[in-house]
Structure 1
Amino acid sequence: MSITTTTLTRAAGAAAVVGGLLYIGVQINHPHLDLDLLATTEWKVRQAMKIGFATLSLAGITGMYLRQVRRTGVLGLIGYLVLALGFLFMVSIEVTGAVVLPAIAHSSPGFAADILAVAVPGGHAAGDIGLMGLLITVDGVLYLAGGLLFGIALFRARVLARWAAALLALGAVATVAIPLLPQVNFRLFAIPTGVALVGLGYSLWREQRTLTAPLLPDATTPRLDPAGAR
């Protein structure tokens, strides 16, 4: 199989679709974050899903940006870089949660509990968690700002599904309201972003498929006989 730009772009679209589905799936019946959860298989599975979401979504938005780099302009570049950095930070945080936290849960339960506390929007650590607190805060800002800027750039470019681009921007902004609505399950705010990624990824995949579809001859068009042509 030859590797072409079209093939890579379609793969990026598929990656965004799978990443969005993982993000939606990980929110379903998500248990309360506590030390007991760290020792379970469910924790490992959900962390793996989060890592997969961030990694595949990074590949997906890269394909989206490269497909319309001229149309998105400076805003698209800034939005892509900020959101990509947010996904990179997210991968490091989720890998730490999957590998490090279960290993130190017994020896340093206070530290592990504080990490879980700040992982919840509006949560605060009782003790000192060092640079982890700053990393989580910065990642949240990058994710919010990047989603907003990149969503606006995609919407203005008019290449991929505009409803999905708008939903990406709105989903990022909606996360600001989480601390103001403590009675609402904060995981519901992640669903619009997951749906937006699925919509954008499918739009990118479908567009590339349309571009590469073979042109079939029109049955109503008369065919010339090369032997009888003058």
Structure 2
Amino acid sequence: MSINPSTLTRTAGISAVVAGLLFIGIQINHPQLDTAFATSAEYTVRQSVKVVMAVLSLIGITGMYVPHAKRMGVLGLIGYLVFGAGYLIMMSVEAIGAVVIPTLATRAPAYVNDVFAVAMGGHSAGNIGALASLNAAMGFAYIGGGVMFGIALVRATVLARWAAIMLAVGTGATLAIPFLPMINERLFAVPTGVALIGLGYSLWHRTPAAGSLPEPPPKSPSALTRLGRSTADTRLP
């Protein structure tokens, strides 16, 4: 199996589609975050899926940006770096949640409840240390980067325009969660998930398969080569 830019780009498209499906799927029937849920097998499975989702999303947006870097311009570069940082932080936060939180749930339940409160956009009663700053950085990078990256994709017109618009609107709409307590905050993940699916499919569909790439045209002889041939011809008897 040969590895080439076309194969990598199509793989990134598939990664984005799977990431979008996982992002939507993990929101379905998600139990309330508390210490009882943190010690369950379902919690570990959901956290592990979130880690995989963050990794696949990062691969996906990288495949969207790299082939179209020139057309996306400075805004695209900044959006990609910030959005990518958001997914890197998300991956680390979810990994901490999968590995550390279940152990602390029985030893320090108050701390775990405070962590969950901050994760859901609320406030902690006690001090949760650097996790508070990490969550804030993740939120800023996810929202700000998603909006900028989506706008850059819209302006570049390299992938499905509707999906790029939905990415910008979906990530930006997350800011409304604190002001809409009557709406399940997990519903705000759906537009971003759909956007990743649409963008990933568009990336995969618009990238030709490795075997279908046209062969480069044969190089014409240079002027010096032609001159040399003509000179040699004049010397022939």
Give the TM-score of the pair, scaled to structure 2: 0.88
Structure 2: tracts of 5 or more residues without a match = 215-237
Pairwise CA RMSD: 1.2
1:156 alignment partner in structure 2:
155
Matched, 1:196 2:199: no
Deviation at residue 211 of structure 1 after TM alignment: 8.1
Deviation at residue 48 of structure 1 after TM alignment: 1.1
2:14 alignment partner in structure 1:
14
Matched, 1:65 2:68: no
Letter in 1 for 2:208: R
Deviation at residue 180 of structure 1 after TM alignment: 0.9
2:164 alignment partner in structure 1:
165
1:92 alignment partner in structure 2:
92
1:26 alignment partner in structure 2:
26
Secondary structure in 2 matching 1:209: coil
Deviation at residue 214 of structure 1 after TM alignment: 6.9
Point out 4+ residue stretches in structure 1 off by more than 3 angstroms: 209-215
1:224 alignment partner in structure 2:
none
Pairwise mapping of residues 1-230 of structure 1 onto structure 2 (< 5 A)?
1-121=1-121, 123-209=122-208, 213=212
Structure showing greater radius of gyration is 2
1:227 alignment partner in structure 2:
none
Structure 1: how far apart are the matches of 2:95 and 2:75? 30
Letter in 2 for 1:190: A
Secondary structure in 1 matching 2:207: helix
Q: What's the CA shift string for 1:132-186, capped at 9, x where partnerless?
A: 0010011101100000000000010011001000000000111111111100000
Deviation at residue 104 of structure 1 after TM alignment: 1.2
Letter in 1 for 2:120: V
Q: What's the CA shift string for 1:207-229, capped at 9, x where partnerless?
A: 113786478xxxxxxxxxxxxxx
Sort the Cα spacing of 1:17 and 1:9 in 2 relative to 1 into closer, same or farther, 3 A. same
Alpha-carbon contact 2:117-2:124 (below 8 Å) kept = yes
Which one is further off, 203-212 or 3-12?
Answer: 203-212
Q: Percent identity?
A: 56
Structure 2: how far apart are the matches of 1:52 and 1:13? 15
Deviation at residue 189 of structure 1 after TM alignment: 0.6
Letter in 1 for 2:190: I
1:218 alignment partner in structure 2:
none
Letter in 2 for 1:204: L
Letter in 2 for 1:9: T
Equivalenced residues, count:
214
Sort the Cα spacing of 1:73 and 1:212 in 2 relative to 1 into closer, same or farther, 3 A. farther
Deviation at residue 112 of structure 1 after TM alignment: 1.1
Alpha-carbon contact 2:6-2:209 (below 8 Å) kept = no
Give the TM-score of the pair, scaled to structure 1: 0.90
Alpha-carbon contact 2:4-2:210 (below 8 Å) kept = no
Q: What's the CA shift string for 1:13-61, capped at 9, x where partnerless?
A: 0000000100000011111110000111110111111111110000000
Structure 2: how far apart are the matches of 1:212 and 1:132? 47
